[in-house]
A and B are shown apart, each in its own frame.
Chain A
Amino acid sequence: METAEVTRRSETTRVVASAKKRNIRKAVTIGLFTAPALIVYLVYVVYPILSTLSYSFYSWDGTSDKTFIGLENYVQLFNDTIFWTSLTNNIWVVITSVFVQIPLGMIMALMLFAPIRGIRLFSSVYFLPFLMSTVAIGLLWVYMFDPINGIINQLVNLLGFENVAWLSDENTALIAILLVVVWQFSPFYMILFKAAMVGISEELYESAQIDGANARQKFFHITLPLLMPTIVSSSILAIVGSLKAFDIFYIMTGGGPNHATELMGTYMFKQAFINFNMGYASAIAFIMFLIALIVTVLIQIVDYNRKKKGAF
C-alpha cells in the first residue's frame, strides 16, 4: 500500500518529500555534531548566568531557603560605597592596560627589531612573564614588594627615599599591583605587535629612506598607522580582560587594605564565599556580566562603523 501510494505521487511532491528528508537528515547531522559542545555549554555557561540573575532577586545564605526580595539587592548595591570603589579600581585596571601595557608592549616589540647584539636572547626573556601562573606571579611579587627585605624598597633606598609599605599602604597598594599586571601582560602585546610588524613590507621603509625620512618619521608615518588594527584589537582584549581581573589581586592583597585594591571580582567572591551573601553576590556578578556585555556590544558597534568607513 505504502509503496503504491508513493508511486502515485506526482514528480514534484516526490522532489519535495526527498528534499524534506534530506533536510531532516541534515538537521540530525548538525545536531549530532553540535550536541556535545552545546550541552556542556548550556549546563556550565548559559544556565548558570540565568541562575545568577534569578538568585540576585533573593536574600540567600546558600544553604537555607531563599527569600524573594525583588530588586533590593540592586538598590543596596548602588548605595554600597565598596562596590563603587571596586568598579573604579576595575576602571583603573582597564586604563593601565590600554595606556601602559599596550604602549610598553609596542616598545618591546620594536626592540625585537633593534639592530643590537643579543636581541634573540632578549626576546626569549621578554616573553617569560606571560608563561608564569598568575598565582605564582602574585606570590613572587609579594616578596619583591616586602617592606623590609624586598628588592623594590632596596631600589627606593638607593634613590634616596624612605621604605614604602607597598601592599599594606592604601595609597600605594593599587599602583603596586598594577605594576605586576603590566609585568605579566606586556609580553602578550609584544607578541601581537611583533606579528603585525613582521607583516609590514620592507619596501615601504626603503622608499621612505630614499625620500630622506628619518627614523622618527618612518615610525609615525609608516609603522604606527599600519599597527592601528593591532592597537584596536589589543585594546579590546585589554578592556575585556581587565573587567575579569581577579587572581593577582586576590593573591597579593585580597582586595585590601581597607578595600583599596577591591575589584568587582574580589568583592563578589568575598560576599559569596566568605560572608555567604549569595543573593547579594549574585547581584554583583550579574552587574559584572552586564558591564562586560555592554562593553562588548559597544566595541563591536564602534569596530563595525570603523570598518565601514574603511579607516585603517
Chain B
Amino acid sequence: MVQSLRKMPLYIVGLLLLIFTGYPFVYMISTSLKDKSAFFEEPFAILGSIELGNYADVFQMGLTRYFLNSILVSVAAVVAVMLIAALASYPLSRMNYRFNRALFLLFISGMMLPIHATLIPIFKLSQNMGLYDSLLALLGPYIAFSLPISIFILTQFMQEIPKSLEEAAKIDGCSHFGIFWRIILPMLTPALMTVFIYNFIHLWNEFIFALVLVSSPENMTLPLGLQDFYGEFSVNVPGLMAALTLASLPMLVVYLFSQEKVVKGLTGGAVKG
C-alpha cells in the first residue's frame, strides 16, 4: 500500500505525458468519425456515432493521387540515394587519398544547411530544365538533400567492417567494384535499412520543395495535398481530420509492426547500436 502510494507521482507524470502526446491523435481519429452536425454538437465526445462518410469524401477529392505521388517520388529518391550514397561512402571510408577528408566534410556539411539557401536557384533550375510542376522536379533536390545523412550513416558503418575481408578478396583478384558489390554491400543491409527508413519518412513528410516546385493538384505530394484540402475543407473539420488520419496511417502502421527499426531509423546516426 505504502509502496503504491509512493509511486503515485510517477503514475501522475506518466499519465499527463500520455495525455499530452496521445490526446491529439484521439481527437483527430474521433473527429474524423463524426458527421458534421455531431461535431458541432459534441466536438469532444470520444466515442459517438461512427460515420465513415468523411473517408469516402476524402478519397473522392483525390487523396489517392497524392498518396501515389508521394510513394512514387519518395521510393524513387530513396532507392537512388541508397545506391549513390553507398557508392560514395566506399572510397570515403575505405580508401586513403588526399581529398578524402575534404570531400567527406563537403558532403556532411549539407546536414546543417537551411534549404532556403538553395530554394530560388533550384526553382529557376527546374524551370530551365523544363521540369517545373512535375514529380521529376522533386527528385533531384530530394536525392541531394538526403545524401549528407546517408553518407554519414554509411561511412560510419563501413569503417567498422574489417579490412581483412577485402584484402583476402583483393588477393583473389577482385576489383574495387567487385569488393563493393560482393562483400561490402551485402554486409551493409542493416545500415541501408536505417538509411531507407530515415529518408523515406523525411521525404514522405517533405513540404517546402514540394510547395515551391509543384503547383498543379495532379502532381501534388501528400503534405502539399493536405494543405490544399485545408483551404477547401476549412468548415468541414471531420473531413479534414479524415484526411489527416489517412495521411498519418501508413507511418503509424509501419511503426506498430516494427517499432524498434523505425525508432532506430528515425534517429538516424544519432543513436548507435
Contacts and interface: CB of A to CB of B under 8 A. Distances in A.
A42 to B, nearest CB: 9
B151 A37 contact: yes
Interface in B156-198: 176-177, 180
A282 B120 contact: yes
B87 interface: yes
B119 A285 contact: yes
A12 B255 CA distance: 63
A116 B226 contact: no
Interface of A: 26-27, 29-30, 33-34, 36-38, 40-41, 43-49, 51-52, 55, 62, 107-108, 111, 114-116, 118-119, 122, 124-136, 139-144, 149, 151, 154, 183, 186-188, 191-192, 195, 233, 237, 240, 243-244, 246-247, 250-251, 264-265, 268-269, 272-273, 278, 281-282, 284-286, 288-289, 292-293, 295-296
A217 B201 CA distance: 40
Contacts of B227: 135, 139, 251
A49 B114 CA distance: 10
B263 A127 contact: yes
A149 B235 CA distance: 12
A48 B118 contact: yes
29 contacts: A38-B103, A40-B143, A43-B125, A43-B144, A44-B118, A44-B141, A49-B118, A55-B121, A115-B7, A116-B11, A122-B18, A126-B17, A131-B255, A133-B204, A136-B248, A141-B24, A151-B23, A188-B267, A191-B266, A240-B112, A268-B116, A282-B120, A285-B114, A288-B114, A289-B113, A292-B112, A292-B113, A292-B114, A296-B109
Given A34-B91, A187-B21, A48 B84 contact: no
Nearest to A137: B24
Contacts of B180: 33
A144 B27 contact: yes
Interface string B226-244: 1100100000010011001
Interface of A is mostly: helix
Contacts of B262: 131
What 9 A-B pairs have minimum CB-CB distances, sorted nearest first? A44-B144, A48-B118, A37-B88, A48-B121, A51-B121, A133-B205, A289-B117, A135-B223, A195-B271
B62 interface: no
Given A44-B145, A192-B271, A265-B114, A37 B84 contact: yes
A235 B151 CA distance: 22
Contacts of A246: 115-116, 207-208
Interface of B: 7, 10-11, 13-14, 17-18, 20-25, 27-28, 31, 40, 43-44, 83-85, 87-88, 90-92, 95, 97, 103, 106-107, 109-125, 140-141, 143-145, 147, 151, 176-177, 180, 201, 204-205, 207-208, 211-212, 222-224, 226-227, 230, 237, 240-241, 244, 247-248, 251-252, 255, 259, 262-263, 266-267, 270-273
A293 B110 CA distance: 10
B120 A124 contact: no
B240 A139 contact: yes
B73 to A, nearest CB: 14
A48 B114 contact: no
B40 to A, nearest CB: 8
A251 to B, nearest CB: 7
B44 A48 contact: no
Given A29-B176, A44-B141, A122-B14, A191 B271 contact: yes
Contacts of A191: 263, 266-267, 271
A41 B140 CA distance: 9
B240 A285 contact: no
A55 B223 CA distance: 29
Contacts of A107: 13, 17
A125 B21 contact: yes
B267 A37 contact: no
B84 A139 contact: no
B247 A33 contact: no
Contacts of A284: 116
A282 B123 CA distance: 12
A157 to B, nearest CB: 12
B121 A47 contact: yes
